[in-house]
Structure 1
């Protein structure tokens, strides 16, 4: 069985990861060459299984591939970037 894939649902402005029929999301707003992560939600049934980490890592990888800068308004995304130096260069400094 293939591993779940993170999908960029641009119509809803959220990255989505479905696991076991439950959907985790990382909501965002695109502003030119910048993406603002505003909220992350992982259903209680999926907590503690690394779903949020997989969601944010894959989301940031997609954002990096597009050459976008990141503003991490969401505390979960901000903590993830703080703990993973390979993503810190993506942050938009203001």
Structure 2
């Protein structure tokens, strides 16, 4: 895979940041909104073929950038996202 393009989709309540390869989601971070200014990260999933490449963190950084732009606070229920927020102090400004 050459360039990683992270996409975002949102239906008004639930959303995800994801990477497509051959029309398949090979990585995704799923969230649900809680009011207009809060999002709860529920689940992160990365295909076995992509593990160990920092893909989950790249997706989390994209979500954080979106949250900052939209002034949304983040609640990480997903164990992966929660661990990354604890390790990466520069991302913690969006935490609820």
TM-score (norm 2): 0.83
Deviating 4+ runs (over 4 angstroms): 19-22
Alignment of 1:1-94 (within 5 A): 3-11=3-11, 13-19=15-21, 22-32=25-35, 33-92=37-96
> Using a 3 Å threshold, how does the CA distance of structure 1 residues 26 and 51 change in structure 2: closer, same or farther?
same
TM-score by length of 1: 0.85
**Cα distance in structure 2, aligned partners of 1:38 and 1:22:** 17
Partner-residue secondary structure (3-state), 2:57: helix
Higher strand share: 2
- How many residues align? The count is 92
Alpha-carbon offset, residue 68 of structure 1: 0.1
The 8 Å contact of residues 6 and 59 in structure 1, kept in 2 or not, is answered as no
Compute the RMSD of aligned alpha carbons.
2.0
Give the whole-Å Cα distance in 2 for the aligned partners of 1:7 and 1:62: 11
